Amino acid sequence: MLVSQRAQTYAQLFSSKRYENHQQQRKSNAFYFLLGSAAAYGLYSQTQRTADAEANTLDIEIDFASDLKEGEMKELKVGPKDDDKILISRVNGKLHAVGNYCTHFGAPLSTGLLFDDKVLCPWHAASFSVVTGALEGAPGVDGLPTFQITEKDGKHLVTIPVPLPKSQSQPLAKRDPADKRRYVIVGGGPAGVSCAEALRQSGFTGEITVISAEDMVAYDRTLLTKMLPTIDASKTKIRSDDYLKNADIDFLLKTKVDSIDTTAKSVKLSDGTSVSYDKLCIATGASAFKPPIPGISLPNVHVLRSSADQESIKSHIDQAKKVVILGAGFIGSECASALKLKYKDAMEVHMISLEQVPLQRQFGLEVGKMFASEHEKNGVKLHTSRKVTEIRGDGQKATHVVLDDGTVLEADLVLVGAGVQPATKFLAGSGIKTDQWGGIECDPFLATSAKDVYAAGDCASYPYWLTGRRMRIEHYMNAMDQGSYSAFNMLGKLTPFGNIPFYWTRHYNKTVQYIGYAHEFDEVHIEGDVLANKFVAFYIKDGKVLAVAGQQNSGAVLTYMEAMHQNLMPSAEDIKSGKETAETLRGKLKQNKGASRCRRENCCHKKTIAQ
């Protein structure tokens, strides 16, 4: 049910009836079971289907099997509902059948991309094997169900169970009291919980303890800004409480860590007690940065990082008529979008940007202008190239925000989106090396400078395999994958972290995807129409393409992501001249057999169970 809850939440974000219907259909699978598979599905097409009433399975003809070429995939309708579909593909000359919907938010994988045996989700780049159904990469959490294909009388038939399973989960090792090892994870966000889960998936039978300062673990923080006024964070959880309990993972919630003694291998808690460890993963993420502005601590001035922050904002926001947002980065821009989409002209929203246009540093001037145009069209009042010098109050709450040009803005709610900083102050004196910004310095295996200590997520600084440059990525997909990879390395399954960064941002029902990492760039090459959000932007430094951004669903951005993954990214010159396009590159990538092999396979992929 948890995947359905998250998919329903995402359907609200997209305002898409199609995906709401898709989730409703999944709920109604029980209805088919009660009616009997032959009766329920026989009405759809009796001539192409046979049913085994006792086993509740159906044999369905793949009527396009002979037309499906190598490296192609196509959805197959298996029932009367619009979303009764599975995915058929041909890999290495053989037909394969898996579920058609991403286990993250239910995106139809048939509209994604297939490279070798790997299908990429079109929305958020989760990846799965179409041969085994196994999950390769976040933000998916489970694999895809697989279905047997047989050939009879010249026809290819796929056998599906009723109700149709939506996912395929990895088996979890059970806790063995005889195994005295204790692995401790500090941080209960996506990185921490992914680490704990991957330990069990990889066969670890010792004790796992997760320490978290929050009262809820593993929710999707990315939706707090995108759906600020409406989201219920508890419905975005990556894993249910029952699932984590079944995994024999112990949680210490609402518990802060004071320090770590790497010599004694002990984590000291704020209540004075300590937890010993054999191996440790630090996944504390980042904390919201509060700039030193007079009035920043007034009661109606809020940061937005945790579910508690969001609940506090929600409790006041319906009464707010004038909102001022400090910062026009991802946090500020997505909050502005969410507020105007819900309240429209009933709420006045001002957004203060240090830059000439919002998100200029990340996307460049032209793409930044597109974001600015969307804000202005939706009624947000932008104040660019400006700083906040003071937040004035009446003794009880903030009432005005003062800018460096003397402008005074009325405010009955102030949101601070001034960025984040690694939550690593408790490491002082531990011997664990951090960089000048507080990021934990890791090697390619996510190991820190201290023996048996690893790091993952927003707090981890690591060398990017593609360029060698050290970087720290503050994005959801990266955190989940690093959590899993840190688990593999804690278990001695040496697995270097070699992913390509990916993130997405959504403003006013327009989504932009970004892949790669361009700390700085000296040129932005744009193909298409930016203002119409039909574009691909290439971020170039010294003749090399370091990152690519563009609208969702074109497939171009994910094609270049796979090119980076396979180290086949064309030169900037070839892209600008038109010698290489997403289409030509896609053909080359499909010919590169074996390049998309999953790195998790020898770490945690075992025989899987359909759900």
Cα–Cα distances (Å) from 132 to 99, 101, 362, in that order, read 11, 15, 37
**Between these two residues, 273 and 17, which has the higher pLDDT value?**
273
Q: Check residue 7 and give its pLDDT.
A: 57
Question: What's the pLDDT score for residue 42?
Answer: 34
Question: Is 90 exceeded by the pLDDT of residue 176?
Answer: yes
pLDDT of residue 603: 80
Sequence-distant (≥ 6) Cβ neighbours of residue 381 within 8 angstroms = 348, 349, 350, 351
* C-alpha atoms less than 13 angstroms from C-alpha of 152 in its C-beta half-sphere: 13
Q: Same structural domain for residues 44 and 137?
A: yes
With 50 as the cut, is the pLDDT of residue 284 above it?
yes
Same domain as 144, residue 16:
yes
Does one domain contain both 16 and 150?
A: yes
Claim to verify: residue 157 and residue 233 sit in the same structural domain: no
The reply to whether 584 falls in a domain is yes
Residues 144, 96 contacting (CB under 8 angstroms): no
Q: Percentage of the chain with pLDDT > 90?
A: 83
- Contact yes or no for 239/6 (Cβ under 8 A): no
| Exposure string over 103-132, b if 16+ CB within 10 A, otherwise e | bbbbbbbbebbbbbbbbbbbbbbbbbbbbb
Average pLDDT, integer, range 551-578: 94
Which residues, 6 or more positions from 294, have their beta carbon under 8 angstroms from its beta carbon?
Answer: 389, 390, 391
In a domain, 496, yes or no: no
Q: What are 49's two structure tokens?
A: 């289907």
- 242 with 159, same domain: the answer is no
Which structure tokens are listed for 145? Answer: 């169900």
Nearest to 189, CA basis, from 455, 464, 561, 462:
455
Specify whether 387 is located in the same domain as 439: no
* Whole-structure pTM value: 0.90
Q: Residue 280 above 70 pLDDT?
A: yes
Q: What pLDDT score does 8 carry?
A: 59
Are 560 and 585 in contact, with CB atoms under 8 Å apart?
A: yes
The pLDDT, as a whole number, for residue 80 is 86
Q: Say if residue 155 is in the same domain as residue 46.
A: yes
- The closest alpha carbon to 32, from 228, 196, 163, belongs to 163
Q: Are residues 199 and 113 in the same domain?
A: no
Residue 279 lies in a domain: yes
> 571 lies in a domain?
yes
What is the total count of domains within the chain?
4
- Domain for residue 599, yes or no? no
Residue recorded with tokens 């023996």: 451
CATH code for the domain in which residue 322 is found: 3.50.50.60
Find the CATH number of the domain harbouring 114. 2.102.10.10
Yes or no: say if 216 and 233 are a contact pair by the CB < 8 Å rule.
Answer: yes
Residues 426 and 316 in one domain: no
pLDDT for residue 352 is more than 60: yes
Full residue range of the structural domain in which residue 475 is found: 182-288+422-490
Whether 281 and 395 map to the same domain: the answer is: no
Whether residue 444 is preceded by a cis peptide bond, meaning omega within 30 degrees of 0, is no
Regarding whether 535 and 412 lie in a shared domain, the answer is no
Q: What is the CATH number of the domain that holds 554?
A: 3.30.390.30
Q: Is the pLDDT of residue 591 over 90?
A: no
pLDDT at 29 over 70: no
209's CB contacts (< 8 A; 6+ apart) are 182, 183, 184, 185, 249, 250, 251, 252, 275, 277
| C-alpha pair distances (Å), 161 with each of 58, 125, 233 | 6, 28, 33
- What is the pLDDT averaged over residues 576-593? 93
Can you tell me whether residue 96 is helix, strand or coil? strand
- Element (DSSP H or E) covering residue 259: strand 257-261
Q: Is residue 509 part of a domain?
A: no
For residue 254, tell me if it sits in a domain: yes
- Closest residue by Cα to residue 349 from 289, 283, 285, 413: 413
Query: In this structure, are 139 and 101 located in the same domain?
Result: yes
Q: Is residue 497 part of a domain?
A: no
The pLDDT assigned to 157 comes to 98
User: Is-contact 524 364, C-beta < 8 A?
Assistant: yes
Question: What does the pLDDT average to over 18-44?
Answer: 34
pLDDT surpassing 80 at residue 36: no
Q: Which helix (H) or strand (E) holds 525?
A: strand 523-529
DSSP-assigned letter for residue 434? B
Choose one of 120, 148, 169: the last residue of a domain. 169
Least reliable range by pLDDT among 37-46, 236-245, 506-515, 535-544: 37-46
Contact (CB, 8 A) for 248 and 225: no
CB count, 10 Å around CB of 590? Answer: 18
Give yes or no for residue 53 having a pLDDT over 70.
no
Mean pLDDT of the chain: 90
Q: 32 or 570, which is more confident?
A: 570
- The whole-angstrom separation of Cα 397 and Cα 519 is 38
Tell the burial category of 273 from Cβ atoms under 10 Å away from its Cβ (0-12, 13-18, 19+).
Answer: exposed
Q: What is the pLDDT of residues 404-449, one digit of tens each?
A: 999 999 999 999 999 999 999 999 999 999 999 999 999 999 999 9
Tokens representing 78?
A: 């298996």
